[in-house]
Every structure is written in structure tokens, then in C-alpha cells.
Structure 1
Amino acid sequence: MQSAHTRDTNEKLANLDNTTKETVQRIDKVNNKITDLREQRMRDPDTLGDKAFKLAFPALIGMVAGKAFQSVWNLVTNKVHPSPNDDEADRKQGLLMSVLFAAASAAFSTVVTTYSDKLTQSIVGRLQRKRK
């Protein structure tokens, strides 16, 4: 017959073995996740420069296009309403013109962004082919 002390020690060792197994399983799980992430990064053909270019170029093109659109809009609206005598009529149409400007600007920005993204991807793809 086992003494109470021996039983307690055996239970503690069994619990320790279970805790150790769980800890090793958790460490293995983390290790596998790290390995998967490393493999994903190694398979990714984009370098840091490619990623920076993909981020910066469309943003820069979008800013320039937005400013160009705003300048053209201002030129057109100044030609349509050049005199300050019709300011009251302009104020009444202000909301409509603001909505029209927002819609036209959003449509223009969408088109520019779509094509600049495609251009950027094309340029990066060409650079990656040259690297290989």
C-alpha cells in the first residue's frame, strides 16, 4: 500500500507530465505558425521596395489627378459664372454644385486609381521578371 506522500508525489508527477505535454504542444503550434509565416514571406515575390512603390505611386498619382481635376473644375466654373453680380444665384445652386463636384471628383478618382494600380502592378511585375 502506498503512503499518502507517495500518492501525492505520483499525482504531481502525472500532472507535471500533462502540463509539460501541453506546453510542448503549444510551443510546437507556435513554431509551426512561425514556419508557415516564414514560408509565405519567402514565396512573396515583392521586395520592400516593390511594396513601397505599390503604396506610394498610386497615392501620388491620385493626389496629382485630384488637384488637376479641382483646377479644371475651378476654371470651368469661373468661366460659367465670371461676374460677382450673380453671386446670389450661385449661392442657391451651391449645394447642387457641391454634390455634382463630389460625384464627378469621386468618379474621376476611381478611374485614375484603377488605372494607376494596374500600371503599378505592371511595372512591379516587369521588375520582378528582370530580377529572375
Structure 2
Amino acid sequence: MATAKPVQSAHTPDTNEKLANLDNTTKETVQRIDKVNNKITDLREQRMRDPDTLGDKAFKLAFPALIGMVAGKAFQSVWNLVTKKCIEPERRRSGPQTGPAHERAVRRRIRCVQHSRDHVFRQAHAVDRGRLQRKRK
């Protein structure tokens, strides 16, 4: 009868060391995944606490720009009407675009535009003065 050889363990000291390294690597990997998972959870909670949707944020960004554009166009229309009233009559009367008559017409146009500008500034100053007087009371 033959004697059976003792069964050697599959885990030699070299294999045990490799398994220990693999176990440490696995733990580190799980810790990194948990860290990423926690960050994702924090970001999701932060997004859920924020009451503004993407549409709300886009509206808050675009609305002032649109209002500014509309106000600019309205101001431009008023400005064009005022300057047209000043310039068109002079154009019809001035005839040729040279000589002293043309120079006088140009000076009148400039005075008319300056008068319009001054009127706007006076109105704005009056509005500001009214606000200041209301605050004092």
C-alpha cells in the first residue's frame, strides 16, 4: 500500500502575500467607489434643495437682456422721431447741401438735438429729485 503524500496547501507564503495585496486593493477600490457615491448623493440632494429649475435659471438670465433690448429699441424709436422732426423740415428747405444755408441748417439740427438731449436730462433729474424728496419725508 502506498502512502499518500500530504496535501500541500494551495496557499504558499507567496500566494498569501498576493492575496493580502489583492485584499488591500479591493478595500481601496471600494473606498473610492463609496467616496464617489457619497459625492453623487450630495450633489443630488443639493439639486433637490434648489427650487430653481433649469428653465427658471435660463429665464432669470434672459429676461433682463430682453427687457434691455426692448427698452433700447423704444428709446431708439423715440430718438428717431425727435431727430426726424428737427432734421426733415430743414432738409426740405435747405436745397443744395453746400454753402452757408446748409451750414445754418446743420447748426439748427445740432441745436435741436442738443435741446432734446437737455430735455431728457432735465426730466431724469426731476424724477431723481422727486425720489430724493420722498425719501426725506
TM-score by length of 2: 0.46
TM-score by length of 1: 0.47
Pick the structure with greater CA Rg: 2
